[in-house]
Amino acid sequence: MAPVKPSGQYDFDLLVIGGGSGGLACAKEASSFGKQVVVLDFVIPSEKGTTWGIGGTCVNVGCIPKKLMHQASLLGESIQEARSYGWNIPDPISFNWESLVEAVQNHIKSVNWVTRVQLRDKKIEYVNGHGVFEDAHTVVAKMKNGKERRITAKDIVIAVGGRPRYPDFPGCKEYCITSDDLFSLPTSPGNTLVIGAGYIGLECAGFLKGLGYESTVMVRSMLLRGFDRGMVNLVQAEMEDKGVKFLIGKIPVKVSKQPNGKLLVEWKGDDGIGQGEFDTVLVATGRKALSEELNPSAAGLQVHPESFKFITNAEQTNIPNIYAVGDVLHERPELTPVAIQAGKLLAGRLYNGIQEQMDYDNVATTVFSPLEYGCVGLTEEDAINRYTENEIEVYHAYYKPTEFFIPQKNVKHCYLKVITLLKAPQKVLGMHFIGPQAGEVIQGYAAAIKAGLTYQHLKDTVGIHPTVSEEFTRVAITKRSGDDPTPQSCCS
């Protein structure tokens, strides 16, 4: 449907602040319903001066470049394994960081270009300006050249996402980089210290090691907070086996540049102080929402006092005509597909009369560690807290991927668990999987959980053999039984 000029006192029907996945999805959906839409997007350079085009974190400095570098790491491992399968591979093989960065950046730029074309084709106006609220219907866009444009709209959607958070210690901003900088780093990172052990930190440490660089992870307390602890322990063990080092219970206190160009990192922990030299220090200690940059109080907007994110009801803020999607929402998953789905549904409710709301439960996700970890639903800890240990059943199994046998790859961390209610038909509460292609494996089971998956359904399903996904249809040993969950063969 072609956009119709809005009637009344506003310039646009919908103004979207933020050109990331969620904001763009909402804008394009609203445009399809004939609404006049404008998108504001502006990237403030990182501390190292890194900037990028439209598309948001995922496209430019998140999911996409991360997955491509993870794939590059896996390919290096596959080349080595190919010898076992009869391939004659010259020795030594070599890797070029600059070539990878160029290929990744070329792909990102192509996505930026396609996004601009899509907006033009849908007659959505794109403004490369930093939006700041003047009132509940007015946003002032501040351009790079210093000019300003005042824009009014009936409805406003905030989709500005977040940026990496810098810890407060001397030398951090001067010498450390973040994920905003890594994927376009012009020279190889070399020996890298990753400060932080969320999924971003672990993924970066994992693919850097796979690309041939030494990597060390410094973590204050626990890895992958919020994930199933048993699965996390296996992820850590696998990474250690791959050669990633961990500094557990350590806090950085200072980074300084040495005469030899190296970065000297000093830290403290329960066992005293320590230090080490690195070529690169990557900070991955969480992200902060960009809500404060919008001057939200000018529009009467309220934010959570600790997270500074918006508390919404069906994505609606405390101001009736202002909505928010994506990483600026308090206590919602910070995942690209979540923002996209929420943005599309919001536009449908606003402009097409639908009633469907975003379902934030049972959202699947994957940590792209060297051996991937995919999950959906409750962790074992959360299931126990919600239902008590006596009311749940945990089925679990180690398994042996067929493709691991010939190169004699380590299988001891290939593991899965299914968490169910104890009472028949044993509704599935959570599914967790560590192994190759974990994201591809868990996606289908996420749909099944949405449809009311039970353990009986899994038991009644005939798996595709030989695949790793079939292991979910064969799992039969419970933790409660105390039986050994290790198979005797690939077909046992």
The pair of three-digit structure tokens given for residue 490, joined into one six-digit string: 């690939």
Q: Distance of CA 210 to CAs 22, 203, 244, Å?
A: 32, 11, 9
Q: Phi then psi for 5, rounded to 5 degrees? A: -55, 130
- Cβ atoms within 10 Å of 103's Cβ, excluding its own: 12
Helix (H) / strand (E) element for 154: namely strand 148-158
Dihedral in degrees, nearest 10, Cα atoms 474, 477, 478, 484? -140
Q: For the purposes of burial, counting CB atoms within 10 Å of the CB of 330, is it exposed (0-12), middle (13-18) or buried (19 or more)?
A: middle
Rounded to 10 deg, the angle between the 63-82 and 97-121 helix axes is 140
Q: For the purposes of burial, counting CB atoms within 10 Å of the CB of 322, is it exposed (0-12), middle (13-18) or buried (19 or more)?
A: buried
Please report how many Cα atoms fall inside a 13 Å half-sphere around the Cα of residue 267, on the Cβ side: 24
Q: Distance of CA 120 to CAs 11, 27, 34, 125, 158, Å?
A: 18, 12, 14, 7, 21
The pair of three-digit structure tokens given for residue 412, joined into one six-digit string: 């001891």
The vertex-286 CA angle with 283 and 290, nearest 5°, equals 110
What is the C-alpha separation between 26 and 338, in angstroms, rounded?
Answer: 12
Q: For the purposes of burial, counting CB atoms within 10 Å of the CB of 423, is it exposed (0-12), middle (13-18) or buried (19 or more)?
A: exposed
Q: Does residue 152 contact residue 9 with C-beta atoms inside 8 Å?
A: yes
Q: Distance of CA 352 to CAs 89, 239, 314, 344, 356, Å?
A: 58, 48, 16, 11, 11
Q: Does residue 371 contact residue 435 with C-beta atoms inside 8 Å?
A: yes
Catalytic positions, please?
A: 465
